[in-house]
Every structure is written in C-alpha cells, then in structure tokens.
Amino acid sequence: MDDVRHSIPSNPTRFLDQLRLRIRSEGLAYRTEQTYVHWVKQFIRYHDRRHPKDLGASEVEAFLNHVSVNRNCSANTQRIALNALIFLYKRFLGLDMDNLSFTPARANKRLPVVYSRQEIAAILSQLNGMSRLMVELMYGTGLRSAELLSLRIKDIDFGSNNVIVRSGKGNKDRATMLPQSLIPGLQRQIENVERLHAQDIEDGYGDVYLPDALARKYPRAARETAWQFLFPSSRIGPDPRSGVLRRHHLHPTALSKQIRRAVRAAGIRKPARAHSFRHSFATHLLETGYDLRTIQELLGHSDIKTTEIYTHVINRGGKGVLSPVDSLGSRQLPLRSENG
C-alpha cells in the first residue's frame, strides 16, 4: 500500500514527522510528500546529519551542486530537489532562501517512447485476462498507471461512457472516454471483483482503503462494492495507518512485470514502459486528426505545451519530408563488396 499515507502523531516531536504534518496541512499530494521527505533526508545525510536549521544557503548550494555534478542527475531531478529544499526552508522553517546562486541545468527535450498500432497489437497478443484489460484501458483512455490502479468500480460510468479519474496528477479530477470495445471486458472484471469482495466479507475482511475525509464522512462506504478497486491485489495486507487487514489495488510492479514480459515476447526493441501506452494514445489521436486542445483535456495536462510534444513524434516520417535516398527508387546502385 505504497500510496496510502502513513499515520503520524497529531503533535509530532520528530523533525520529519513535523515536516510531513506541514506538507499535509497544505494539501499537497502524498507523492509530493514522499518526494520532499526523500530529498530532505538526502540533504541531511549529505551534511553529516546536521539539523537543517543549523544549515543555510551555502549548504543548500553545495548539496544541489553535488546532485548536479557528482550524481549527474537530470535537470528535472535537480528542480525537484530544489523545490523540496525551498519548501523546507521557506514554508516549514520560515527562513529566506532568495539569495541562492545555484542554477539548475537546462532540461533536455526528449521525445516520448511511442508504440505503433502494430506494436500495440503485438503486445496485447502476449497478454490475457486482467493484465490485458489494464493495458487496453491505458492505451484506450490515456490513463497514467497510477490513475489506472486507483480506479474504483464506481469510476466506470457505463451510462455516460466515461472513465472518471479521481485525484489525478496535481490532485485534479477529470473524465476521459470509455472505449466501447472494452465494455464487455470491464463488466466481466467488475463481476470478478464482486465475487472476490463477497468472499472477503465472508472471510471477515471486506473494508477497502478510503482517504481520511471520506472514511469519516461515509463510514460504511469502505465495505460497499462500488468503492472496491477495479484491479484488486491478489493478497490482503495491513493498512499502514491502522494495521487493519485490507485488499488494496494491484501493486505497480506487478503491472510493470507483465508489460516487460509482453514487450519482450512480442519482439519489440523499445523500452517496456507503462507510460508509453499513454504516449501512444495521444500520438495516435493526433495522427487521426483530433486537435491538441481535446487531447490536452483527455490527458489532464494543465499546459498545452506539454501536449505539443506529441506533434514531434506523429507518424509522418520526418515531418512529411521525402528523404533524398528514397527518390532514387530503382536507379539506386547495388552495394559493392569491399573487394570490389
């Protein structure tokens, strides 16, 4: 249950618990909390476990330069580390950090890994059951893997043909289309979850994880079928907040393993990444003729510049330019051996 917030005392005495409490009081996502705490730990360890209040701008600059030079981290990672330390000093400790002279490296523009339609079909042919349905849903809706795994039964709206994403990246809700071809498979998956949930209740379990506010507002919702995860784990485990045994959603590593196996079995020589199905969704919509604004809304991008990256990878062979070697046609001379 890596995406479930661990419990902390209401009046914590440990420094990192106090930091976590401040992050939560500002309504930041749990993933942000995990990332900020990670970089603050790294910062403290780099300076021989000295307390951050005894350190200043020069120590922050030294650590960020270490991240940049010695650890050779990407520009994006450097920016995240900087954001974590800015939050630590400005928002948590109330200290000024405006005089930092550190300048993060410029971010390199990298094209996303996109599978062709033929490659998507080949990958899917190597999958079956729930694993295939999950990959089909990522490719058919543009969901991130974390958004996919967080889906509850109630988020599949057959009436309006929508898939509802709750608290996606940036803690935003959005709706994306429900692929019509996946409806029978989704209905079978829901029936499987209903049977599994009924067995869990019979075995003395059956309560699913709910965020704190929802758990307090709707105390009986945790046992309702509608709130069960669409892709549940095969095992029951302890909730890190309360220790209560629950069935959570499938772990991301289980999905990643299935994707890696399928990509290799399909003979595809591209990185095996769950996020590539989201990239493929956007790219193929763009190739079909859908406008960027529509794709932006479906993906949940706050800035259309993020969506524009897909204009550089659509299947137009170098922006539609004909290579001079292709114009040779039948006139191309045969290759000669080294011996003439």
Residue 152 has what pLDDT? Answer: 96
CA distances from 280 to 28, 51, 136, 168 (A): 29, 46, 11, 19
Q: Which of 30, 89, 144, 197 is catalytic?
A: 144
Residue 27: predicted pLDDT: 82
Q: What is residue 11's predicted lDDT score, i.e. its pLDDT?
A: 86
Whether 36 is catalytic: no
The dihedral sign for the CA sequence 236, 237, 240, 241: positive
Q: Are 286 and 292 in contact (CB under 8 A)?
A: yes
Mark whether 45 is an active-site residue.
Answer: no
In the prediction, which pLDDT does 99 show? 72
- Tell me what pLDDT residue 334 has: 59
State the amino acid at position 16 in one-letter form: L
* Active-site residue, from 246, 247, 279, 301: 301
Q: Which of 169, 174, 260, 261 is catalytic?
A: 169
| d(C-alpha 60, C-alpha 100), whole Å | 8
Six-digit token string for 27: 């309504």
Q: Which domains does the chain have, with CATH numbers?
A: 15-92 (1.10.150.130), 111-316 (1.10.443.10)
- Confidence at residue 331, expressed as pLDDT on a 0 to 100 scale: 55
Give CA–CA dist 207/184, Å, rounded.
27
Question: What pLDDT digit, counting tens, does each position of 34-93 carry?
Answer: 999 999 999 999 999 999 988 888 888 889 888 877 777 777 888 899 899 999 999 998
Which of 275, 293, 305, 312 is the catalytic position? 275
pLDDT at site 320: 57
**What's the pTM value of the predicted model, to 2 decimals?**
0.80
Q: Across the chain, what does the average pLDDT equal? A: 87
Catalytic position from the list 20, 152, 247, 278: 278
Going by pLDDT thresholds of 50, 70 and 90, the confidence category of residue 106 is low
- The mean pLDDT of 208-213, rounded to a whole number, is 81
- Based on the residue annotation, tell me whether 50 is a catalytic residue of this protein: no
Q: Is 278 a catalytic residue?
A: yes
Q: What is the pLDDT of residue 308?
A: 86
Question: Positive or negative CA dihedral for 74, 79, 82, 83?
Answer: negative
Q: Please give the residue that has the higher pLDDT: either 321 or 152.
A: 152
